[in-house]
């Protein structure tokens, strides 16, 4: 009897010890998570380059395993080529032909595709957002929808993205698109050339348009901003991933102010105030990445600054359509929206 009692007490003590150890492990895990959570803003402040990687996400070259020299796997009537914007920087571009030029394009060499840019069909320079590459499904869908509607579409992978060399920076991305614009203008004759920026690409689009106007006196034919932000600092404050830090002491200093230390500004709210180009802003009400308030605010800033109010236009898309941040290209009316806009600002 005494032996059984001692055995039972031992089991209880053992169970208590196990319970204590489990509680200790849980507490230690929670402490480790808190330390990790609290240290991230300080690490970002000390190493701004980490913030650049998060903003550009060029290391996430999705989809994987793409042979960029074979765009026909994703898009018919599309050719791949490379441009060198400065020593050591070569980037890839896909050129999707308008529907009305596709039959005669068969078996033609690259020079024919360059000459086709002067056929009076409008030319879209598509500037994608962060992460991924020019083969991502919504980017491919955009090129298909717009080229089917008789637009040339040139989709660029900036430096550091996909098969392009170099590392991304705001100055570098601006340089790449500026070089592409000049390359296209040298071959496109009187064809309308349009900047179409999506997400991060909207900041690049306004940067380039402003530089062209202020340094060269060139007015871009039209600028389309899909899911834009006002500037990268305000965008970072809206990102879903920063939500857990918005109440963190020093959030603005440690994270938002570090944008400037990382040389990232993308000041579209300042850029649009000096542009003379027609601007079309498109935003979905259910955009969870960059809230539609950014698009509305940017529209008001641009319209208030413009001498011609009618060339600044804003179109919102109801949440019921489910376009969110990336899927406006699923809207079958997108080509007509652009054509009607171009017609209205002539």
- Residue 316 designated active-site: no
Specify whether the CB–CB gap between 159 and 173 falls below 8 A: yes
| Token pair of 142 as six digits | 């955009």
Q: Which residues contact 305 (CB under 8 A, 6 or more apart)?
A: 272, 273, 274
Specify whether the CB–CB gap between 161 and 190 falls below 8 A: no
CA end-to-end span of the chain, whole Å?
102
Q: Is 82 exposed, middle or buried (0-12, 13-18, 19+ CB in 10 A)?
A: middle
Specify whether the CB–CB gap between 150 and 244 falls below 8 A: no
Specify whether the CB–CB gap between 128 and 198 falls below 8 A: yes
| Token pair of 197 as six digits | 């920026």
Angle between helices 2-46 and 48-56 (to 10 degrees): 90
User: Which of the residues 176, 269, 287, 326 is marked catalytic?
Assistant: 287
User: Which of the residues 164, 325, 326, 329 is marked catalytic?
Assistant: 325
- Residue 287 designated active-site: yes
User: Which of the residues 96, 164, 188, 199 is marked catalytic?
Assistant: 199
- Residue 238 designated active-site: no
Total Cβ atoms within 10 A of residue 291: 18
Residues involved in catalysis: 199, 287, 325
């Amino acid at each position: 009897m005494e032996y059984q009692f001692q055995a039972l007490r031992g089991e209880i003590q053992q169970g208590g010890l196990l319970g204590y150890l489990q509680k200790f492990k849980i507490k230690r895990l929670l402490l480790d998570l808190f330390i990790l959570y609290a240290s991230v803003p300080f690490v970002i402040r000390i190493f701004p380059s980490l913030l650049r990687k998060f903003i550009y996400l060029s290391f996430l070259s999705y989809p994987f395993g793409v042979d960029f020299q074979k765009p026909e796997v994703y898009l018919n009537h599309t050719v791949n080529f490379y441009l060198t914007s400065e020593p050591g920087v070569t980037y890839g571009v896909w050129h999707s032909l308008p529907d009305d030029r596709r039959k005669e394009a068969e078996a033609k060499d690259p020079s024919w595709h360059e000459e086709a840019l002067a056929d009076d069909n409008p030319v879209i320079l598509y500037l994608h957002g962060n992460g991924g590459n020019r083969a991502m499904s919504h980017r491919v869908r955009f090129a298909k929808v717009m080229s089917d509607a008789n637009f040339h579409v040139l989709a660029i992978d900036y430096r550091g993205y996909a098969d392009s060399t170099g590392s991304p920076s705001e100055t570098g991305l601006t340089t790449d698109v500026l070089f592409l614009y000049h390359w296209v203008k040298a071959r496109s004759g009187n064809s309308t050339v349009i900047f179409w920026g999506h997400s991060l690409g909207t900041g690049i689009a306004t940067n380039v348009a402003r530089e062209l106007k202020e340094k060269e006196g060139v007015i871009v034919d039209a600028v389309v901003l899909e899911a834009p932000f006002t500037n990268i600092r305000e965008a970072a404050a809206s990102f879903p991933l920063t939500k857990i830090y918005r109440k963190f002491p020093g959030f603005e200093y440690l994270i938002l102010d570090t944008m400037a230390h990382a040389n990232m500004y993308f000041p579209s709210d300042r850029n649009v105030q000096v542009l003379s180009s027609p601007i079309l802003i498109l935003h979905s009400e259910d955009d969870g990445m960059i809230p539609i308030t950014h698009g509305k605010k940017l529209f008001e800033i641009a319209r208030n600054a413009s001498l011609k109010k009618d060339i600044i236009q804003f179109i919102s898309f109801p949440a019921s359509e489910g376009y969110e941040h990336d899927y406006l290209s699923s809207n079958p009316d997108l080509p007509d929206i652009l054509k009607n806009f171009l017609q209205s600002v002539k």
